[in-house]
Structure 1
Amino acid sequence: MDFNDTTDEAEFRAEVRAFLDAHAPRKSAEARTYRSRELNDDDVRRSKEWQATKAAAGFAGIHWPKKHGGRDGTQMQAAIFAAEEERYVVPPSVFNQGVGMALPTIMAHGSDALIDRYARPALYGEEVWCQLFSEPSAGSDLAGLRTRAVRDGDDWVINGQKVWTSNAHFSQYGMLVARTDPTLPKHAGLTFFILDMAAPGIEIRRLKQISGTANFCEVFLTDVRIPDHHRLGGVGEGWKVALTMLANERFTVGKAEGPDVEDIMALARTLTIDGRPALDDPAVRERIARWYVQSEGLKYTRLRTQTAFSRGRAPGPENSIGKLVSATKLQEIAAFGIELLGQSGAVMDPDVAPLNAWFQEALLYAPGKRIAGGTDEILRNIIAERVLKMPGEMRADKDVPFNRIPTSRR
């Protein structure tokens, strides 16, 4: 591994920093506090404006072809921009699902007409996308989904329910997986579609989370019609397309934002245990040291990914490590921060609580980070089977037609 920039990469990084310095302030220590608040119309507007600004300057879809609004750059350049952008105060992005996940999937599996139609509007912040994967009866087991798609002439008629769909309430389009043949094993009977979120028969209900926000939604589909030319991949090849999108998702959401090692250290410096600074307590130092080691491991894992980009290789299943470790670490750090705060840890008012109640809020949203983008159990299976090459776990439903898989009685 070579973690140093090449000459070309160093020049590009300097170009990125000049652009960011001209358009956004650098983060200060106070700006580190990440609020998992509910996105409002103004957030969406500012996010669209920032996305358009980046696209106009050639810093959105950096590795996309120029004919689709990109730069014809490299994945390494895209990784450099993402790393540098984290150092600046910019609007919250509503384009992770679209630019980061949906459009790369369309480029891999869609027709030229679909790519021409959807790539540029997403890249320039004109259209927002969501991901319609999870269902009430099939969360981690995505292939167990029950939403049906039945062919009717040149259309497909969709009936079912999706859940935990982030930002569905202000998305124009969604990526949908549905079951088209229940007589096949569950992975084989799926098909992938592009869904117009304004189509008749779609009902969106927002879900209130324990943190007080409502950025997740459940989506009900009743006789929703999708034209066949909005299908990605062949009929019954939906699992293959979904894997492409999931690979992009785990690279896009691999880092859980929130209090980190330096933040728990800063908190420990302001508190005391038995009349001494909490940071001097051996038990506190031991826990912080463990999280520091994890952070360093994550940093070098990300650098390995950047090295792969620099050599022209795509990211592999090892990206599951980043999300698995960082989400768990976030929850542990948030919980320990509350423990150190003692009775004041119960105060949620950001105007009164230390560090604007950042640790309190993180404790509420951290569990969701361990579910979104793949649960801990799913990610461990991916790491075991695809990274460590261990035998796959036993599956009683393997090669069994989906409509013959027993279900629990109610």
Structure 2
Amino acid sequence: MDFQPDRNLEAFRQNVRTFLRERLPADLVRPLRTGTRSAREDVTRWQRILNEQGWGTPSWPSEHGGPGWSVQERLVFDEECMNAGAPTQDGGAQKLLGPVLNAFGTPEQKAAHLPLLLSGERQWCQGFSEPGSGSDLASLRTRADRDGDHYVVNGQKIWTSYAHRADWIFLLVRTDQEAKKQAGISFLLVDMKTPGITVRPIRSIDDCHHLNETFFDNVRVPVSNRVGAEGEGWSITKFLLNNEHASTADLPVLRRYLKQLRSLAVLARDGASPLIERTSFALRLARFEAETNAIAMMVQRVAALEQDHSPAAHAMGSILKVRATELQQQMSAFVVESLGDHGAIAYPGPQERDAATLPMQELGRGLANEMFFRRASTIYGGTSEVQRTIVARALFQF
């Protein structure tokens, strides 16, 4: 594939910046630490503004109502929104569920869910991981037993991001207890207000509440809420996880880390000299920039393979997931390390009380918390160990 820069990309970037300058309300500007989601009302309001511009679903192709942007254009959009402090969108709905409904949903399911997804009025969470069935997702035990026109769902999910704020959940369940474990899984859409659902908070090491455990006790779900055929859930999941691998690369975040490191290079001191004059720091900064550029090329390559329906796309997505998330951990840790003594202090995050305005303290806001959050990046979306197994098996086939 051609990795030459798109001549129109800079013009597109300026177009996005102009839009953000003119249409992003000042009261919505609130730089967020990675891994957190904007307040519900901010998500909905920002989604409405994006829809008016025709940019409400930036990752969707034009045939499904999206802007039909290239991978590079989507990355530019995400990066500029992050830099401008724009609210987040509902990523699980936009990048994961939306493509699934477009590919596998019935006309009735699309009509019921896509308009509210596009408006931001119906927000979603993902019910995949379970205690003992995280990395080995196919071993999940939450069961859905058929009872007439309904399934009766019983079981538990864990690490359910934003379940406490979600209206609906897209859920993997076992509908055939006797079939091979991958063959007995189905994909359900469940209203979180359905009787029998209990959500309990998990406060994580980054001092935030975005995770939960979710319990299902005789929850009745209409059969019409099943996406795809019964037992087709694993195939749908593989489709979804390929999209998730590209999302978890978080290239705009890697570029933000580079920006922070460049700021520290001149503001932080090594004795009387700026940090950039320390050879070891300069070398690591250069290496991180090269690795970030490599991730950018890999994101394009995976997207091209998926567009061509190449059998190599799944394995390449796993390689991208491993390399990008491990780089996130390394870079976030190095940012905190480069703060020196200031890195040992838990400064307030961007949405918390005002922090002191000294340059090093300002740079350190929320960074230690983000480093802690990134400890999970090699776990969510499939652990690095599982991804390496996928790659090894793909290479063995060749």
Q: TM-score range by the shorter chain?
A: 0.7 to 0.9
- For 1:349, the equivalent position in structure 2 comes to 347
After the TM superposition, which of the residue ranges 102-111 and 246-255 deviates more from structure 2?
246-255
- For 1:177, the equivalent position in structure 2 comes to 172
- Distance, in Å, in 2 between the alignment partners of 1:127 and 1:198 is 12
**For residue 41 of structure 2, what is the amino acid of its counterpart?**
R
State the Cα distance separating 1:276 from its structure 2 match: 3.6
The 5 A counterparts of 1:2-17 are: 2-5=3-6, 16-17=16-17
**For residue 210 of structure 2, what is the amino acid of its counterpart?**
N
Structure 2 segments unaligned to the other structure (5+ residues): 349-354
**Secondary structure of 1:224's match?**
strand
Change beyond 3 A, Cα 1:114–1:35: same
- How many residues align? The count is 377
Change beyond 3 A, Cα 1:44–1:113: same
State the Cα distance separating 1:15 from its structure 2 match: 5.4
2:187–2:228 contact (8 Å) kept in structure 1 = yes
Residue 52 (1) aligns with residue 48 (2)? yes
TM-score by length of 2: 0.84
- For 1:396, the equivalent position in structure 2 comes to none
- Distance, in Å, in 1 between the alignment partners of 2:303 and 2:185 is 33
The 5 A counterparts of 1:124-139 are: 124-139=119-134
After the TM superposition, which of the residue ranges 258-267 and 166-175 deviates more from structure 2?
258-267
- Distance, in Å, in 2 between the alignment partners of 1:38 and 1:261 is 20
- For 1:300, the equivalent position in structure 2 comes to 297
2:13–2:76 contact (8 Å) kept in structure 1 = no
**Secondary structure of 1:177's match?**
strand
Residue 84 (1) aligns with residue 98 (2)? no
The 5 A counterparts of 1:2-401 are: 2-5=3-6, 16-24=16-24, 34-36=32-34, 39=37, 43-61=39-57, 63=60, 70-71=65-66, 73-76=67-70, 80-88=73-81, 89-255=84-250, 257=253, 260-273=257-270, 275-304=272-301, 313=308, 316-317=313-314, 318-350=316-348, 351-352=355-356, 353=361, 355-386=363-394, 389-391=395-397
State the Cα distance separating 1:306 from its structure 2 match: 6.2
After the TM superposition, which of the residue ranges 222-231 and 364-373 deviates more from structure 2?
364-373
RMSD of aligned Cα (Å): 3.0
- For 1:407, the equivalent position in structure 2 comes to none
**Secondary structure of 1:171's match?**
coil
- Distance, in Å, in 2 between the alignment partners of 1:132 and 1:59 is 27
TM-score by length of 1: 0.82
Deviations 1:242-301 (A, max 9, x none): 112112222233216365233223213333335443322222223222212211101222
Change beyond 3 A, Cα 1:25–1:284: farther
**Secondary structure of 1:204's match?**
strand
- Distance, in Å, in 2 between the alignment partners of 1:278 and 1:240 is 50
- Distance, in Å, in 1 between the alignment partners of 2:92 and 2:168 is 10
Change beyond 3 A, Cα 1:50–1:314: farther
**For residue 19 of structure 1, what is the amino acid of its counterpart?**
F
Change beyond 3 A, Cα 1:215–1:243: same
Change beyond 3 A, Cα 1:303–1:119: same
Change beyond 3 A, Cα 1:223–1:191: same
Deviations 1:312-349 (A, max 9, x none): 64693333444322322222223233334343322112
- Distance, in Å, in 1 between the alignment partners of 2:260 and 2:17 is 25
State the Cα distance separating 1:391 from its structure 2 match: 5.0
State the Cα distance separating 1:79 from its structure 2 match: 5.3
Structure 1 segments unaligned to the other structure (5+ residues): 393-410
- Distance, in Å, in 1 between the alignment partners of 2:91 and 2:166 is 12
State the Cα distance separating 1:172 from its structure 2 match: 1.1
Give the share of equivalent positions with the same residue, in percent. Answer: 29
Change beyond 3 A, Cα 1:137–1:308: closer
After the TM superposition, which of the residue ranges 165-174 and 335-344 deviates more from structure 2?
335-344
**For residue 355 of structure 1, what is the amino acid of its counterpart?**
L
1:254–1:319 contact (8 Å) kept in structure 2 = no
**Secondary structure of 1:226's match?**
strand
Change beyond 3 A, Cα 1:36–1:81: closer
Change beyond 3 A, Cα 1:266–1:91: closer
- For 2:351, the equivalent position in structure 1 comes to none
- Distance, in Å, in 1 between the alignment partners of 2:202 and 2:141 is 21
1:345–1:360 contact (8 Å) kept in structure 2 = yes
